[in-house]
Amino acid sequence: MRRAVCPGSFDPVTYGHIDIVGRAAKQYDEVVVAVLNNINKRGLFSVDEKLDMLSEGTAELGNVTVAEFDGLLVDFCRANGIDTIVRSLRSVSDFDYELQIAQMNYRLSGVETVFMTANPQYSFLSSSLVREIAQHNGDVSSLVTPYVQKRLREKYEERATEQ
């Protein structure tokens, strides 16, 4: 069985992420979308919230599961019998950064990294841009699922009442 992992912080998951996961799901028997639980970085959403939004966004993909990990991605891969990491490239600068990580992951564990180029309609898209637009009540409906859009609105309304 060919298994791959699509790792990330997904804060929040965007249509760009879902596109890559969907394309990977056509190439592999099973795809695990792995959310990094980075204790050094506080995101907008908790890991559980991210897992929930990813589950909703990938529900139609029968061979996709979601999970969380902390520590090294290659350790997660070893523990779960995964030998391929799928990463998205939006630009040349992404490649420079991702190549170094891919080479280190291979050196540490022999896990291969496969790069998929971003769909041109999503090549500009990032979670940080989505957060910024949503924070200022901008329209993110073409960038995230309706469920994620609702969660963003709730999160920023919640933060506004706390201040």
Answer yes or no: is 98 a known binding residue. yes
Q: What was the pLDDT predicted at 104? A: 97
Predicted TM-score of the model (pTM): 0.94
**What are the structure tokens assigned to 152, written together?**
């963003």
Per-residue pLDDT of 75-119, as tens digits, reads: 999 999 999 999 999 999 889 999 999 999 999 999 999 999 999
Torsion sign, CA atoms 118, 2, 99, 33? positive
In percent, the amount of the chain with pLDDT more than 70 equals 99
Q: Mean pLDDT, to the nearest integer, of 30-46?
A: 91
Active centre residues (catalytic):
17, 41, 90, 127
Q: What was the pLDDT predicted at 40? A: 78
Answer yes or no: is 141 a known binding residue. no
Per-residue pLDDT of 122-140, as tens digits, reads: 999 999 999 999 999 999 9
Answer yes or no: is 10 a known binding residue. yes
Helix (H) or strand (E) holding 20: helix 15-27
pLDDT bin (cut points 50, 70, 90) of residue 61 is: very high
Span of 1-5, 41-45, 96-100, 146-150 with lowest mean pLDDT? 41-45
